[in-house]
Structure 1
């Protein structure tokens, strides 16, 4: 395992005009798929332990599973806590996570600032960068009044100044999940650019499944250099399972293997779309020789 410096990955993406991909694991096979995709695409990757897997098996077991997949590879990886609540953040630091997202977006602004600042102080004392979220990201299919969800530029500026976070995840028209046959909500890229200018930070967008390619490239130009995507990759894995079981009774391992193979392909496609393919330090060093 090449344990990458998360700050450097995002700084390099900012300097190079691309975005690094951050993807959630859900099992051995999905963690393996993400690592294998990073190898094939020669791309660094954030392996995210998130809000679905932790209730299922606990943070410690999920971290150990992810670390095991990473250790079996030379891929350039960061093991990142995604949407961590207060107690989980400190458990993650003790376990050895090298990147943290503390999610206080559901709290009133003052409380979000206060608790995020405390997380930053502790995490930074261990050299760990912190991502936080401001604004609210709805689930796909909700009837949304976007004016109540978007990140406000003035609040983002205050939040960053008072907390000292390293990266800010913003709400600008993205949703968690994908509704089949429903066109994606266009991103408010002007708002993203205004937040970038007001805060001076590399920004993060969650919920990048189903986002139109033009908006992906527009978001990068506007200042987003870490993209989180999950649903598209889970759907690829599920399609692999279903294709095997559609043939009749099959061994579970055969279905899991096909799911893994399809998720590898879907992840490599994301990495190429984000411009991070070929950006691993080993690939860069090889091209320089």
Structure 2
């Protein structure tokens, strides 16, 4: 199966001074919403299979679902493994994922280097780029000790040099999920320092709830892939709840309204990230062949 090379997508974002969105799907309707948003916004996107859907469907079934929806649409965008375990990475390579993220951030630093290096060696032999994480992204909470989570510049420099990762996900004040508290300002200077020390495109997970001006400052500082899920999932939920609030309705009616609101929310993200209207520049790019 061929697709636009994920490296080319991120390289174009780096060159153009914008970020490409990495968004997770949870069922066929949310998958359709992300694909339709990419078509409407004419934007590149990473369709991400992540930690919520894998226990629910299994990695292989989730991949087949996304592959089916992409083939139906004719859209050419990467299917990306998000926060993959060591075992899932190799299953994803066998299945034909276009891009993978190995999350060894829970490991000791030396163990993370060793495991990531091996993942990179195997994935690169199949032409598949690797995203890895250094530092940690906390779950949403009202009070967080950020000193325990931030990515250290000197560790990032060594990590990239010794593993050969293509993209580095860093911790600079983001969290998984959102809270009602005032969001933590991103550590933009840390982002710049990591960019200069590593010279690879950086990724921020947990972009939901982060003010647009902060995200745009992060893009200017070296972040060229932004992952967001919670904001889009909440948009889908609003559609379901609004439909059922009108009285007894078919489940499909609620799902359709959720899909519609998620499309709108995703298009808005693409505009905020600067990726809207950028897909045409990638359409002529040479495809990369990956295992199927």
- Deviates most, 137-146 or 211-220: 137-146
Tell me how far apart the structure 2 counterparts of residues 241 and 107 of structure 1 sit (CA, whole Å). 39
- CA shift digits 1:94-149 (9 cap, x unpaired): 00001000000000000000000000000000000000000011011153111111
Give the secondary structure class of the aligned counterpart of 2:23.
Answer: strand
- Given that residues 59 and 92 in structure 2 are in contact (C-alpha distance below 8 angstroms), is that contact kept between their aligned partners in structure 1? yes
- Equivalences for 1:176-195 in 2 at 5 Å? 176-179=176-179, 181-195=180-194
- Given that residues 33 and 260 in structure 1 are in contact (C-alpha distance below 8 angstroms), is that contact kept between their aligned partners in structure 2? yes
Query: Aligned residue for 1:245?
Result: 244
TM-score by length of 1: 0.96
Query: Aligned residue for 2:202?
Result: 203
Indicate how the Cα distance of structure 1 residues 6 and 252 shifts in structure 2: closer, same or farther if over 3 A, else same.
Answer: same
How many pairs does the alignment contain? 284
Tell me how far apart the structure 1 counterparts of residues 265 and 168 of structure 2 sit (CA, whole Å). 26
- Given that residues 43 and 76 in structure 1 are in contact (C-alpha distance below 8 angstroms), is that contact kept between their aligned partners in structure 2? no
- Given that residues 2 and 77 in structure 1 are in contact (C-alpha distance below 8 angstroms), is that contact kept between their aligned partners in structure 2? no
Tell me how far apart the structure 2 counterparts of residues 282 and 154 of structure 1 sit (CA, whole Å). 35
- Given that residues 41 and 267 in structure 2 are in contact (C-alpha distance below 8 angstroms), is that contact kept between their aligned partners in structure 1? yes
Query: Aligned residue for 1:24?
Result: 24
Please report how far the alpha carbon of residue 185 of structure 1 lies from its aligned counterpart in structure 2 after TM superposition.
Answer: 1.1
Please report how far the alpha carbon of residue 248 of structure 1 lies from its aligned counterpart in structure 2 after TM superposition.
Answer: 1.2
Q: What 5-or-longer segments of structure 1 have no aligned partner?
A: none
Q: Which segments of structure 1 move beyond 4 Å, counting only runs of 4 or more?
A: 282-285
Please report how far the alpha carbon of residue 2 of structure 1 lies from its aligned counterpart in structure 2 after TM superposition.
Answer: 7.4
- Given that residues 130 and 165 in structure 2 are in contact (C-alpha distance below 8 angstroms), is that contact kept between their aligned partners in structure 1? yes
- Given that residues 79 and 98 in structure 1 are in contact (C-alpha distance below 8 angstroms), is that contact kept between their aligned partners in structure 2? yes
Tell me how far apart the structure 1 counterparts of residues 17 and 28 of structure 2 sit (CA, whole Å). 32
Query: Aligned residue for 2:58?
Result: 58
- CA shift digits 1:19-62 (9 cap, x unpaired): 00110000000000000000000011100000000000100000
- Equivalences for 1:1-289 in 2 at 5 Å? 3-141=3-141, 143-179=143-179, 181-281=180-280
Tell me how far apart the structure 2 counterparts of residues 53 and 26 of structure 1 sit (CA, whole Å). 6
- Given that residues 60 and 95 in structure 1 are in contact (C-alpha distance below 8 angstroms), is that contact kept between their aligned partners in structure 2? yes
TM-score by length of 2: 0.95
Please report how far the alpha carbon of residue 249 of structure 1 lies from its aligned counterpart in structure 2 after TM superposition.
Answer: 1.0
Q: What 5-or-longer segments of structure 2 have no aligned partner?
A: 285-292
Give the secondary structure class of the aligned counterpart of 1:72.
Answer: helix
